[in-house]
Structure 1
């Protein structure tokens, strides 16, 4: 019997997971968005052709927008807008008419985490030690002074997926001088981390010591990652998704409180009398 040759189908359906950036918009005014995007990403393309969905849930009571101009605005920064989510029915219809389909506003983190804006003593899944394997943006730490001959040699780092600094007695402070994109992470092992560029939504900065962010914080910041309860987080423009100190964390799934949003703040751990977990405090900094 002659062998039969099965013709491969012209169309096949396979499940896959693709990285998509969610861009939350609080305004649909092109001039305002253009200024904000330039301040956040600079004049050069920041993303590498990533697909993006515009989250309209906080865009305000508007019924339409200049969608083609919005797509072009984000394209100049390396984002390809493929659709929208949230917002009013009129706004979604307007986007659909412009060729931007609507996607369900489904948030997987809502199933994995307790209610928002509460302190928890157990670290969230994304903040577990396995984060060390996540991709990072390279940072340039200042060179550590040479160790004396009598001192032990620096221990090699175990992780190759994170950027860290380690000296024989105390790790050097690690400096991050370029923005972090969604999905990227920086880890200052054994020392402090100073960030001089934006930490975008979905990005993470982690340090065993203090975290200083002299730029907008839209992502996640974790200090005292090795258990230092005296570690603190400082940010000059606070809009975080999550902050954590020594394993105690707080999320802002429904947004940062208005008295803290965009302000200079510090995050510290305060011990509660008779309780071991303590309380995470986020408070404004007096900068005047």
Structure 2
């Protein structure tokens, strides 16, 4: 007699979503309405209910105030749902969050090495009788890209290292979120959410000098810490890894002695 596997009513995994970037060069609602009408050509299905990140980095410092409710409504009328704001100055962060939007922080990866870099050829040595055969050339694989954040990641901010590892050298506060397709390294307290292996890399890991996270995730599997970490792991150097379908948090010293 076969038995049907019992499935949970709901299963939740951490995932990332693709969002379009809308770069604002103006804050005038009539100008923005006209621009969106021209962009879509009046087609109601030009966008397909996609998420949008509003990039305001191109606005001048003396730009008129942004009418956030009207701006959000404009994008939604074109089947775009604003979810975050990129390149927001600190003075606008609280206002942005109050309208239900998050803060998106994206930096360009810094490559530790470039495959195309080549050393200058060395001068040819003088002929030597019975010279030994030259060893085969050593082929070096290009290093994986790395995004480096040197400033604290505050509540409401979200940093996504697309296609690379993420290194943060400052504190990650409660309510902040780190996402990386590779591994995450925090050389400071990690108090927010950290999601490594976002594109499915189950070998990715999370390292922190002081483990105090709200949530950690690797390749979609996650673990929360409503009651805090065990005493021996809390506020101590540690790492997070995925074993099968289980998230494991271990002290850094334990890993070194294995």
Larger radius of gyration: 2
More strand by share: 2
- Scaled by the length of structure 1, the TM-score of the pair is 0.44
